[in-house]
Amino acid sequence: MLMTEFTIDDRNRIRRKPDRGRFERDVIYPIIDEALICHVGFVEDGQPFVIPTLHARLDDSLILHGARASRMLKHIQAGHPVCATFTLVDGLVLARSVFNHSMNYRSAVVFGRGRLIEADDEKMHALEALTEHIARGRWAEARQPTIKEMNATTVVGITIEQASAKMRTGPPGDDEADYALPIWAGVLPLGEQAGAPLPDPRLREGIPVPDSVRGFSRTP
């Protein structure tokens, strides 16, 4: 039976402001799904690297892809441990004092080990998940990958062994004496918003904007 919460140990424990920490899958996974990119951390020959990349989630696996020469993907498919982070900024928290400025945010950190996805059907399913992560419905609208394109692409799956989320909501938390200061304080909400679609200059006339673009949203 799938546990609803990840176990907690020294790897995923929230030490700074632990009251903001969450370990439930139904809290962590929506953050992963809404974030457009993640940052993948790994160590090679004693040197740490953090690489931003597109991702997708299939159940309890994080899906990544890229060129066969990718150092990060070679590290992952070899089964070495990796850490991936996801961050959504919901607002700037502007306090009366500089010290108490903050952000409202939702973040997630996951830990796991990867494997190479080689079987054609599984690899195609993973590439579909990556495409749908960019824009829901796009897989069915666009041309499917060719054998040559499939062979040129490495796809890996990282089993999410442990994870945690951390978030902040609400107004500033000023020192009591500062509430009397004549300084504006509050929250400036932020969010991702799509602009008007810009058609390719070589787009044939008469092709309408598809549903995946007209209905674009980052909300899972």
Rounded to an integer, what distance in angstroms lies between the CA atom of residue 15 and that of residue 18?
6
- pLDDT averaged over the chain? 96
pLDDT > 70: percent of the chain: 99
Tell me what the mean pLDDT of segment 72-81 comes to: 96
Report the SS3 class of residue 34.
helix
Spatial distance between the Cα atoms of 112 and 15, rounded to a whole number of angstroms: 20
Measure Cα distances from 20 to 14, 97, 102, 107, 148 in Å. Answer: 8, 22, 14, 10, 47
For residue 1, pLDDT beyond 50: no
- 3-state DSSP assignment of residue 141: helix
What domains appear along the chain, each with residue ranges and CATH number? 18-173 (2.30.110.10)
Contact 62, 127 (CB under 8 A): no
Tell me the pTM.
Answer: 0.93
Give the count of beta carbons closer than 10 Å to the beta carbon of residue 108: 25
- How confident is the model over 171-193, as a mean pLDDT? 96
